[in-house]
Homo-oligomer: A and B are copies of this chain.
Amino acid sequence: MPDHRMITLLTDFGLKDPYVGIMKGVISRINPHVRIIDITHEIPPHNVEAANFCLMMAYPHFPAGTVHVAIVDPGVGGKRRALGMEFAAGIIVGPDNGIFTGILDREQIINAVELTNSEYWLTQRPGMTFHGRDIFAPVAAHLTMGTPLKALGPEIDPAMIVRLDRPVFPENAPVITGTVQYIDRFGNLITNIPAAYVGGKEWVITAAGVRIRGCHTYSDTPRGNLLALEGSHGFLEIAINGGNAQASLQVGYGLSVRVEITHSKKTDGKKEGDHE
């Protein structure tokens, strides 16, 4: 039932210009009945890390069969490949630049193709700058109409898909390092260190020269103080209860962080300062 499929859009195009509306028009001309849902269009321009995080957070909440379009594409018009991938959770299209790292870490890929068949594009000669309109939107619309992924281009080796650098987490390592992969509108700093790493242990995170002890909820820490916790997104996070950690620490994407396991079990009553 192609009619029941939906398309999600995630881009860095913003909502000021007509670009997103144009993509929806292109989709609607091919499939006037498909439902289109915006995940966000306010990814910081060209920030593939942030796009990867948002897509990873959002896709599991959509129906199986949904076609997800994710476009943060600093290499548009160059040699980067245009990808289509099929998972049990849905079909995903976008540029081959690491934006799909989080999905590839979590889902079994069924099939992957390079989108080279211009028969399913808006035009045989797409421009250099707007592959959202010229390639990704029409391809997504055709997928919702029942076009099989394999019709869109030659199969590729999933192992060759570009992935973002991820920190290495040796089992039982007492210290690991990672980076800030997303900063939300509240200035919370979301690292790429999985919460599972510290599960059930006491820990301290160091970022921008500040040491912060891991806690459990925002309300464990007085308002205005830095805190670190296992975020609901599954990663370690640095925040300020009632404040903005990004502004307070004056940091940004890619900030290096270091996590140290301080006690393997929470049987020690001694407390460290929240930060110093």
Interface, chain A (partner B; CB < 8 A) = 4, 6, 8, 10, 14-18, 20-22, 24-26, 28-29, 32-33, 35-42, 45, 54-55, 57-59, 61-63, 66, 77, 127-130, 133, 184-186, 217-219, 232
Contacts and interface: CB of A to CB of B under 8 A. Distances in A.
A39 B57 contact: no
B37 A21 contact: yes
Contacts of A36: 37
Contact of A16 (B10, B33, B37, B40): B40
A252 to B, nearest CB: 15
A142 to B, nearest CB: 16
A37 B42 contact: no
A42 B25 contact: no
6 contacts: A10-B18, A17-B40, A17-B185, A18-B57, A25-B66, A29-B62
B62 A25 contact: yes
A168 B273 CA distance: 49
A14 B42 CA distance: 10
Contact of A54 (B4, B17, B35, B127): B17
B28 A6 contact: yes
Given A14-B185, A185-B14, A37 B61 contact: no
Given A10-B18, A17-B185, A128-B217, 16 more contacts: A8-B25, A10-B21, A15-B41, A17-B54, A17-B184, A18-B58, A22-B57, A22-B61, A25-B37, A25-B66, A26-B61, A29-B61, A36-B37, A128-B218, A128-B232, A129-B218
Contacts of A29: 61-63
How many copies are assembled? 3
Given A15-B15, A32-B63, A21 B8 contact: yes
Nearest to A182: B17
Nearest to A133: B61
Contacts of A8: 21, 25
A36 to B, nearest CB: 8
Nearest to A9: B21
Nearest to A184: B17
Given A38-B21, A77-B217, A127-B232, A28 B63 contact: yes
A54 to B, nearest CB: 4
Contacts of A58: 18, 21-22, 25
Contacts of A21: 8, 10, 37-40, 58
Residue with the greatest number of chain B CB neighbours at <10 A, chosen from A17, A54, A133: A17
A11 to B, nearest CB: 12
